[in-house]
Chain A
Amino acid sequence: QSVLTQPPSVSGAPGQRVTISCTGSSSNIGAGYDVQWYQQLPGTAPKLLIYGSINRPSGVPDRFSGSKSGTSASLAITGLQAEDEADYYCQSYDSSLSGSLFGGGTKLTVL
């Protein structure tokens, strides 16, 4: 069981906005550690989508945005497209574990 909790699945129609939550605790997100988000398309390696909680690497569309508040973080995707159908993972640092950890992942389905 991951220390970072994500919903197993979310869905939305093309053009809609969806959000994926990542709930942590006082030893990770709540301690101020930043959150990263990764997109994993079927059969491929994960790709960094958001780093430092709110920053997008070069080449990532601005339809993707990240936020963090308290012990939680969120990934928002606006103008949903069929190509966004993938698994999404949050990642942070945990001081009690003294290491990096990933959320359990969320499968996004574009209806």
Chain B
Amino acid sequence: QLQLQESGPGLVKPSETLSLSCAVSGGSISSGTHYWGWIRQPPGKGLEWIGSMYYSGRTYYNSSLKSRVTISVDTSKNQFSLKLSSVTAADTAVYYCARHDLTMIRGVVKDNWFDTWGQGTLVTVSS
């Protein structure tokens, strides 16, 4: 049974870099069958897709966050990571990692859903 678990600091200072990891168990990131993504949810608000990555390194980012986001993968540890730079209070949210079923046919997105989610971790941006 596939499981994802987020980890990282719960408190980050403004202007610093938020760093989170997602450990995958019950499946292999390098199997090449899925992308792996990050989604966040500010307290009391809706969901926002941050970005997704394939094990080979191909990434897709939310255009509104692209200048500050880096998603990377460590296949040896079977985990992937999120870095969000220059954070402000607006980045305070529960951050979820998820398996992203993303397939394209001739460059056109066909399948696009998040089928397994981690439990989420709250990151607060405050001095």
Residues of A that sit less than 8 Å from B by CB = 2, 33-34, 36, 38, 44-48, 51-52, 57, 89, 91-93, 97-105
Contact = CB atoms under 8 A, between A and B. Distances in A.
A7 B88 CA distance: 29
A36 B47 contact: no
A41 to B, nearest CB: 12
Interface of B: 39, 46-49, 52, 60-63, 96, 101, 109-115, 117-120
A82 to B, nearest CB: 23
A36 B112 contact: yes
Contacts of B120: 45
B115 A48 contact: yes
Contacts of A99: 49, 60-63
Contacts of A48: 113-115
